[in-house]
Amino acid sequence: MIRFLKTILTSGAPRTSPVENARMRKFSNWLGKKWEASPPKKRKVAMTITALLTGGYLIGLMIGAIGYDPPDLGHIQRPVLQKAVTGAQMEDTRQHIERFHRIMDSLGKSSSGRKARDSILARHPGIMDTIAELELNMLPLKR
């Protein structure tokens, strides 16, 4: 049992640092010494209590699963595009998008502009993809 705990606590998991590994190794050694120093009767009681608690939890999970009724989420539907937008509003939006795209392109022409553009793209990583997608979606809507 102690070897198993030591193996689990001291195994080099990919996300643990060497400092954390040393801390876990120190804790497992301390726990092993405490476990070996305790009388056998106390160890049996501790293992029995652990087994009973784990078994009780498992039984509780099983009973809870029997009466569980998952909520009905309904059907997933595609969003319906609103057709109530007038042609003038659509043209105005399209012009705003094109103007934003031109401004972002012009920022790349100077070093200070590149810094500003990189700052904008760092704060809003997917903005140019969104703009390109909007332009593609608005192409069929052009008159």
Q: What's the pTM value of the predicted model, to 2 decimals?
A: 0.38
Q: Which long-range contacts (CB under 8 A, 24 or more apart) does 82-88 make?
A: 87/143
Position 47 confidence tier, pLDDT thresholds 50, 70, 90: very high
pLDDT of residue 142 exceeding 80, the answer is no
Position 84 confidence tier, pLDDT thresholds 50, 70, 90: low
pLDDT of residue 85 exceeding 70, the answer is no
Which residue intervals of the chain are DSSP H helices?
A: 2-10, 18-37, 40-66, 87-107, 111-123, 127-138
Domain ranges of the chain: 2-66, 87-138
pLDDT of residue 48 exceeding 90, the answer is yes
